[in-house]
Structure 1
Amino acid sequence: MADDGTRRATHAGSWYSKDARELNSQLSAWLDAVAEHHTPARIIIAPHAGYTYCGDTAAYAYAQIDPSTTKRVFILGPSHRAYFDCCALPVFEEYATPLGNITLDTEVLQELRASGDFKVMSQKVDEVEHSIEMQLPYLQKIMKGQQYTVIPVLVGQIDPTQASHYGQLLATYLTDPATVCIVSTDFCHWGAHFDHRPVDKKYAEIHLSIEATDRLGMTLIEHKDTQGFEDYLHRTGNTICGRYPLQVMLHAVSALERSSDPVEVRVKFLAYSQSSKVETRSDSSVSYAAGSATWKTSTSLANHCAHH
């Protein structure tokens, strides 16, 4: 662990600006341009590529958070570089960004460690990974002036039974209205470099075929169709890097809707983009989407369910 218990902002200066003033100004511009709202978000789905590629799309997710009611934020990110078959928690107490440091929730992290369901994410694994770090500057920007803590969770290559277990665990925290969850994912990675080049000939352009496949997955997520999304991944082979965090999220939503104090969850995607428009088989691109989940929980909703 770093001597002071702080994770360095290892991708600042390459994936996003390390200059606080410039970074703040970019984030402001993207957030100001957001034209669609689905608030207040209790879960957001946000991309994690370099900001020049997806900063404008990510803004659509972050603009849905209500900072005044948010005290605790889970970040579920996929592991790109290290393989493990469970979820892992950090060794750090703070995460640095050019906008300042973010305090981790040591109390919740302690509870999660005590469950025995998590491995340790080493300093090296944590600092080489970008899926969680890329969410931090946006979160800081949105939460400026508020007191909050973060629980980073690196999601490994888990099976459906594990996804269900972690989802139920997450749901117990999401019953607290001051808790928000960020699901970090990009969508289709298309091209020879990604060993993924399917084309549906009914579309005039390859990029339209890619978008159609992505939107099919997005619709299943909006419909909260956990099994349907899992089947879709097998059927299409779509290279959604955050498939495991998304599956954990869908199981959490399912647990919340089936709980003794049920909630009615609405998931909506607000923006979609691609790093470039693929026209030939030698091109490549990565897709990005921003989504928000809101929910209603009330005595009236519980009573309504009890009488039907």
Structure 2
Amino acid sequence: MTTRQATHAGSWYTSSRSQLDSSLNGWLQAVKPSEIPPRGVSAADVDVDGQLGYKRTQQAGGDAEKLSLPVDGCRAVIAPHAGYSYSGPAAAWAYATIDPEKHKRIFILGPSHHHYLSGCALSKCQKYATPIGDLPLDLDTIGELRRTGEFEDMSLSTDEDEHSIEMHLPYVRKIWQQAEIKIVPILVGSTNVNAETKYGRLLAPYLADPETFVVVSSDFCHWGSRFRYTHYHAPPAAPTQLRSSSTVATTTPIHMSIRALDAEGMSCISFPSPAPFLGSNESNTPTQREVVPDAKSASEARNVWNDYLEAHQNTICGRHPIGVLLAALEELQRSGHSSECRFTRYEQSSQCLTARDSSVSYASAFIRIHSASS
């Protein structure tokens, strides 16, 4: 039996079972439903309350639906995959929304960082190891997907080199620790819109099953010269790419420009209620960004999302796994299902002030799916 080892344990996160379990517990317990932005408000549009927290602003509008945890109907999450010292707390704001009693099969869609793929690839392992317990793979489902002829197979080295799926395994094992679950890891390559449509249609029948859950692995903006992305927008000036000698407007710090850019992307896939034009910074000066067209459904959100990516080229590493999920939700929409995507958290690894700085953004969201009969 081939087991994928926890190759990033001991570096990206602790290899100690007790320390890892304690960290996961602490991050999950720190999630407060009262701090989740109201429906219609992007998590990136809420005032910063220290580096780790966000609080509602009195200016925040939207539907003031009060959430309780776990979130009823939650069937998928979007969460980051950086080292746990950076993104572990933010990821908890996705995982805390899950009711673990309802699922038996967990799909994990992660972007390929090191191995070029034009499509998607499946694991050839039987188990994935984590410091807090192994996760068996759903070999029957993987076999069904393999027989479609649309998936490549990952080599063991490709499987173990990739971190985007592994960084979710401890959370998956923790959340479903009392459940007999199996996982379906899928490595998503540089898919185009047509390929995402194809894979979305292949995965939609599984997502229609209430016992299936989907984890989508994605960080948001990777900003800085080391990422070859220095987009900056300080209205009314036109957007530009900063150089090391560029002057930054004092009214719009770089980290606020990044936040506005991410907020626009998050708004694209926040449906059916769009996030309003709200952004604010520490001095309560509105952060200007594009007004995103209303997305009332998964289909509309997918179109707006693709337009946003084309326009801004934001370095969201999980844009293709997100695209596959949106395509699957669009396919379910055709059969009468409805869905909702709502962001719960937004953080940055650091606050960029000069063109020589860099940061990575982390966003968490949950997705509800309502069956055609409900």
TM-score by length of structure 2 reads: 0.77
1:59-138 map, 5 Å: 59-138=92-171
Aligned equivalents of 2:202 and 2:113: distance in 1?
Answer: 23
Deviations 1:155-206 (A, max 9, x none): 0111111100101111110111000000000000000100000111236211
Deviations 1:200-246 (A, max 9, x none): 12362110100111111111111331111111111101000001001
SS in 2 for 1:77: strand
Aligned equivalents of 2:187 and 2:110: distance in 1?
Answer: 5
Shift of 1:263: 1.5
Q: Give the equivalent residue in structure 2 for 1:296.
A: 370
Aligned equivalents of 1:23 and 1:182: distance in 2?
Answer: 20
Matched, 1:269 2:266: no
Shift of 1:286: 0.2
Q: Is contact 1:77–1:183 with CA below 8 Å preserved after alignment?
A: yes
Matched, 1:194 2:227: yes
1:234-273 map, 5 Å: 234-259=310-335, 262-273=336-347
Q: Quick one: which of 304, 310, 326 aligns to 1:228? A: 304
The list of structure 1 runs, each at least 4 consecutive aligned residues, that deviate by more than 6 angstroms after superposition, is none
SS in 2 for 1:180: strand
Aligned equivalents of 1:31 and 1:16: distance in 2?
Answer: 16
Q: Give the equivalent residue in structure 2 for 1:305.
A: none
Q: Which structure: greater helix fraction?
A: 1
Q: Quick one: which of 262, 266, 285 aligns to 1:218? A: 266
Deviations 1:88-140 (A, max 9, x none): 00110000010111000000000000000000111011100000000000011
Aligned equivalents of 1:296 and 1:237: distance in 2?
Answer: 32
Q: Quick one: which of 247, 252, 267 aligns to 1:204? A: 252
Q: Is contact 2:208–2:371 with CA below 8 Å preserved after alignment?
A: no
TM-score by length of structure 1 reads: 0.94
Amino acid at match of 2:20: L
Q: Is contact 2:73–2:370 with CA below 8 Å preserved after alignment?
A: no
Amino acid at match of 1:186: D
Aligned equivalents of 1:41 and 1:6: distance in 2?
Answer: 30
Matched, 1:20 2:17: yes
What percent identity do the matched residue pairs reach? Answer: 46
Q: Is contact 1:39–1:292 with CA below 8 Å preserved after alignment?
A: no
How many pairs were matched up?
A: 295
Q: CA RMSD in A?
A: 1.0
Structure 1: gaps spanning 5 or more residues:
302-308
Matched, 1:177 2:210: yes
Shift of 1:295: 2.0
Amino acid at match of 2:221: C
Amino acid at match of 2:253: E
Aligned equivalents of 1:32 and 1:183: distance in 2?
Answer: 22
SS in 2 for 1:34: coil
Structure 2: gaps spanning 5 or more residues:
34-66, 236-250, 272-297
Q: Which moved more, 1:76-85 or 1:35-44?
A: 35-44
Shift of 1:298: 4.8
Aligned equivalents of 2:72 and 2:92: distance in 1?
Answer: 13
Q: Is contact 2:76–2:368 with CA below 8 Å preserved after alignment?
A: yes
